[in-house]
Amino acid sequence: MENYKKFKIITYGCQMNVHESEKIAGILSELNYVMTEDEKQADIIVFNTCCIRENAEDRAFGNVGALKKLKKANKNLIIAVGGCMTQQKGFAKSFHESYPFVDIIFGTHNLDNFKLLLQKKLSSKKTIIEVLEKEGSICETTNKLRSSYPNAWVNISYGCNNFCSYCIVPYVRGRERSRKEVDIINECKSLIEDGYKEITLLGQNVNSYGNDLEGVTFASLIKKISQIEGDFRLSFMTNHPKDFNEELIKALAKSDKISKRVHLPVQAGSNRILKLMNRKYTREDYLSKVNLLRKYIPDIAITTDIMVGFPTETEEDFMDTFNLVKEVGFSGAFTFVYSRRKGTPAAEMDGQIPEDVSKNRIMALIDYQNEFNREESKKYLNKTVEILCEGYDDKKKMYLGRDTYGRMAYFSSDKELIGRFVDVKIIKTGGISLLGEVVKVK
Ligand code: SF4
């Protein structure tokens, strides 16, 4: 093992990026590199970056800069930077000027070509800069070195056509392209055969899957996947309320393999702000979809994303959001302060909101949601729930996993449980996580 070359990948941002890092890891494994967590041991360090929010970008800049010393000490170290951040128009050139010690700069559209980029670098002293302007066809041959057992991520589409006015994604990930149904189903089958227990389908907007294909929809796709033999859960992210429809809700209601949680980002509860955001639904549309979902699946857990401090957001707009949160009763809410992204329409809007105003608003939402979670957790006390054991927390010395509603529980056992479905009796409830005792290992 000592003779193998080693790689480290540092990933920022969303699940999509986590999965793309699994692809880079797969490419490097095929080249006989092995993974290390220690950057001093690494022969190659890859940054898979995100530019959706400013702080993720700032962290990446800081962490790349911090490697300058390591590169000086080890001239053979290869540093590669790719992902959404480098895909921004004009970015690669200025990044190269500021960080000339970076060896490879690549974008989101040529990640599958990483082997080629690395080979080019190994035979050249120059920095390899390759950021393609246009998305190409979908590559189906890249191996993945998966790191999240028993969970497996499966892309169903790439890119986005929605152009929400605050969002950089359509500019750095291109137009929406759906993978062929047969490729997705085959990948899911082989993951289930390999023992993966939770398959999460990924797309910027999974609900518009198939719009560029003939005769398939997201609802028809998940019906087929949920019919695959085996003991597994099926989840998906992210949904867009404008495309989340009754056909899909009926498909969710019919299968007991599909997790009983839906992430339905609302972003705002004010119709004026939703319009400025170019979200293409109203508060009323959103609430009617929530009601429809609960009509078919009364116990569904709904989570959401909320953005505060969008340009021109007034106190009244914010209260519309706050009241919508109260009305829906979300099982979880990811709250964000609006982050101004150069190149998006919202960045040019007048009425940017001062940071302290946004902070106060987000804190009010977080406080409310935390209290709501605490109350909801109490309902679990003394109940027995089925948990998929996902890992072991070394600090707590306990296993952890989630139920079908996405609620996290901790429990002890002297047996190896990762990847097993376990019945757990909840004996203590907290904010978002639960503490339980194993009743039965399935
Ligand atoms: S749906 Fe909107 S927020 Fe989501 S990736 Fe597309 S443009 Fe961005």
Each residue's pLDDT tens digit, 349-358:
999 999 999 9
pLDDT above 90 (res 15): no
Mean pLDDT of 116-139: 92
Distance between CA atoms of 434 and 385, rounded to whole angstroms? 11
By most ligand atoms within 8 Å of CB, the mutation choice from 84, 158, 160, 307 for ligand 1 is 160
Q: Read off φ and ψ for residue 261, nearest 5 degrees.
A: -145, 140
Choice between 129 and 431, residue whose per-residue pLDDT is larger: 129
Enter the pTM of the model: 0.94
Return the pLDDT at 433.
Answer: 85
Nearest CA-CA partner of 128 in 98, 102, 110, 89: 102
CB within 6 Å of ligand 1 — which residues?
Answer: 160, 162-164, 167, 169-170, 204-205, 240
Please check whether residue 94 is in contact with residue 129, taking contact to mean a CB–CB distance below 8 angstroms.
no
Rg, the chain, Cα only:
23
In this predicted structure, the answer to whether residue 2 has a pLDDT above a threshold of 70 is: no
Length of the chain: 442
Q: Which residue has the higher pLDDT, 258 or 433?
A: 258
Domains and CATH numbers, the chain: 5-130 (3.40.50.12160), 148-259 (3.30.750.210), 263-378 (3.30.750.200), 384-441 (2.40.50.140)
Hey, how many other C-beta atoms are within 10 angstroms of the C-beta on 183?
A: 14
Candidate from 108, 162, 240 with most ligand 1 atoms within 8 A of CB, to mutate: 162
Which pLDDT belongs to residue 53? 83
Confidence at 255, pLDDT banded by 50, 70, 90: very high
**What is the per-residue pLDDT across 65-96, written as a single tens digit (0 to 9) for each?**
899 999 999 989 999 999 999 999 889 999 99
Q: Which of 84, 108, 204 to mutate to test the pocket of ligand 1 (most atoms within 8 A of CB)?
A: 204
Q: Given ligand 1 and candidates 52, 157, 164, which is best to mutate, with the most ligand atoms within 8 Å of its CB?
A: 164
Burial 352-390 (b: 16+ CB within 10 A, else e): bbeeeebeebbebbeeebeebbeebbeebeeeebebbbb
User: What does the pLDDT look like over 37-60, one tens digit per residue?
Assistant: 999 999 999 999 988 888 888 888
Q: In this structure, which residue's CA is closest to atom 8 in ligand 1?
A: 167
Model confidence pLDDT, tens digit, residues 368-421: 999 999 999 999 999 999 999 999 999 999 999 999 999 999 999 999 999 999
The residue whose CA is least distant from atom 2 of ligand 1 is 164
Residue with tokens 């190994």: 122
pLDDT (mean) for 240-253: 96
Angle separating helix axes 181-193 and 218-226, nearest 10 degrees = 30
Of the chain, the percentage scoring pLDDT greater than 90 comes to 89
Is the confidence at residue 334, as pLDDT, over 80? yes
For the cut 80, the answer to whether the pLDDT of residue 284 exceeds it is yes
Q: What pLDDT band is residue 440 in, cutting at 50, 70 and 90?
A: very high
Q: Would the pLDDT of 1 be above 60?
A: no
Strand partners, 178: 157
Number of the ligand 1 atom closest to the C-alpha atom of 240: 1
Q: What is the mean pLDDT of residues 155-172?
A: 95
Q: How far is the CA of 164 from the centre of ligand 1 (A)?
A: 6
Q: Percentage of the chain with pLDDT > 70?
A: 99
Which atom of ligand 1 lies at the shortest distance from residue 167's CA? Answer: 8
Residue nearest to atom 4 of ligand 1 (CA): 204
Give the chain's mean pLDDT: 94
Q: What is the mean pLDDT of residues 236-241?
A: 96
Cα separation, 193 vs 230, whole angstroms: 8
The pLDDT of residue 431 is 75
Please tell me the least confidently modeled range out of 10-14, 151-155, 251-255, 394-398: 10-14
Query: Is the separation of the CB atoms in 223 and 216 below 8 Å?
Result: no
CA of 281 to the centre of ligand 1 (A): 13
